[in-house]
Amino acid sequence: MNTIAKFALRVVVLAVIMYLVTRLVDGIDVIGNDDGTFGTAGTYLWVALLFAVVNSIVGPVIRLLSLPFVVLTMGLFLLVINAALLGLTAALSDRLTVDGFVAALLGGFLIAVCSWIAELLLPLKVRG
């Protein structure tokens, strides 16, 4: 499978994960656009694409800068980083709302766990 197809599959899987997270976590909502080309599903795809871009551009920088905290907390600070990336995605989009730190923390945790499971089951790694 080529790189573009893997990235597209990753975004679709992330959109499904975002849908599950909005159903499971109070305080995280995606405001669907029924008038859009792809309707509410297109909104979830847009939010997933935005989160993937934020996670791949800003994520490594934040993880590198916070490396001492990650080491001191034995990796638990990565949950805070995932929450921050989810909050940043919500700040960049008017279609995603995250109400509070606890919702962002729980949502970031669920996204990380579900993405990990999806990577085990599907060929989602994008290699250059």
Is residue 52 included in any domain, yes or no?
yes
Is residue 128 included in any domain, yes or no?
no
Give the number of residues written for the chain. Answer: 128
Is residue 30 included in any domain, yes or no?
yes
Is residue 126 included in any domain, yes or no?
no
What does the pLDDT profile of the chain (128 residues) look like in tens digits?
677 888 888 899 999 999 999 999 999 999 988 777 788 899 999 999 999 999 999 999 999 999 999 999 999 999 999 999 999 999 999 999 999 999 999 999 999 999 989 988 886 665 54
Rounded CA separation 125/3 (Å): 9
Domain count, the chain: 1
Is residue 44 included in any domain, yes or no?
yes
Contact 22, 30 (CB under 8 A): yes
Query: Residue 64's domain spans which residues?
Result: 3-121
3-state DSSP assignment of residue 53: helix
DSSP 8-state assignment for residue 22: H
Token pair listed for 59? 């994520």
Is residue 36 included in any domain, yes or no?
yes
CA 69 to chain centre: 22
Is residue 98 included in any domain, yes or no?
yes
Return all residues near 47 (Cβ < 8 A) that are at least 6 apart: 15, 18, 30, 89, 93, 95, 96
Is residue 104 included in any domain, yes or no?
yes
